[in-house]
C-alpha cells in the first residue's frame, strides 16, 4: 500500500509540474488576447470547483455505504459482522473459560462498538455536505 501511495503522489506531482511548465511557457501576448474559440473565464472551472462537484457526485454512494455498515453493525446475532453476534461469541468464550479468546474477542467488540460512533458522526457530516451541494447546485444527479 505505501508503494501505491508513493506512485500516485509522484504521478500527481509530475502532472502538476507539467501543468506549471506549460503555463509558464505561454507568451504574455497570447495570455492577454483570448482567442474567439477559447472558453471564457466564466465557463472554465477551477480545480476546486471540479473537486467539489466530484465530492458531491460521490456523496450518495458514500451515504449508502455508511448506512449499510450501520445496519450490519446493529443487525441481529445471526448476521455476520453485527455487534450482537460478536457479543454472543464473547459470552460463549467466557462460559467455556477461554480467557485468551474472550480477551481477543472483547477487544474486537470494543473496536466495533466505537465504529458505530465514528460512522454516525461521519453520516451527520455527510448530511451537511449534501446540504451544501444542493444549495450550490452541485447535486449528484448532475
Cell numbers for 17: 509540474
3-state secondary structure of 76: coil
In a domain, 24, yes or no: no
Which tens digit of pLDDT belongs to each residue from 48-72? 888 888 999 999 999 999 999 999 9
Q: What is the pLDDT of residue 46?
A: 84
Q: Kindly state whether residue 36 falls inside one of the protein's structural domains.
A: no
53 in any annotated domain: yes
Instruction: Please say whether the beta carbons of 64 and 119 come within 8 A.
Output: no
Residue 116 within a domain: yes
* Structural domain boundaries, residue 80: 45-137
Q: How far is CA 77 from the centre of its chain?
A: 29
Return the residue matching grid coordinates 511548465: 21
**Number of domain units in the chain:** 1
User: d(Cα 8, Cα 104) in Å, to the nearest integer?
Assistant: 36
Please report whether residue 117 resides in a domain: yes
Asked whether residue 115 is domain-assigned, the answer is yes
User: How confident is the model over 73-90, as pLDDT tens digits?
Assistant: 999 999 999 999 999 999
- All three cell numbers of 37: 474559440
Separation of CA 18 from chain center: 28
pLDDT tens digit string along 106-137? 999 999 999 999 999 999 999 999 999 999 88
Assessment of whether the complete model's pTM goes beyond 0.75: no
CA end-to-end distance (rounded Å), the chain: 33
Q: Which residue has the cell 474477542?
A: 105
Is residue 98 over pLDDT 50?
yes
Amino acid at each position: 500500500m505505501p508503494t501505491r501511495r508513493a506512485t500516485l503522489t509522484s504521478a500527481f506531482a509530475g502532472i502538476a509540474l507539467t501543468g506549471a511548465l506549460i503555463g509558464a511557457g505561454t507568451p504574455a501576448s497570447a495570455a492577454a488576447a483570448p482567442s474567439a474559440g477559447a472558453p471564457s473565464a466564466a465557463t472554465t472551472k477551477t480545480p476546486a470547483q471540479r473537486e467539489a462537484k466530484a465530492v458531491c457526485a460521490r456523496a450518495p454512494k458514500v451515504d449508502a455505504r455508511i448506512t449499510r455498515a450501520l445496519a450490519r453493525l446493529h443487525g441481529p446475532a445471526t448476521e455476520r459482522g453485527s455487534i450482537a453476534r460478536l457479543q454472543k461469541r464473547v459470552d460463549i468464550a467466557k462460559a467455556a473459560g477461554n480467557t485468551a479468546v474472550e480477551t481477543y474477542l472483547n477487544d474486537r467488540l470494543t473496536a466495533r462498538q466505537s465504529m458505530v460512533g465514528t460512522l454516525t458522526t461521519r453520516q451527520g457530516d455527510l448530511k451537511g455536505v449534501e446540504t451544501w451541494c444542493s444549495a450550490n447546485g452541485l447535486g449528484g444527479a448532475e
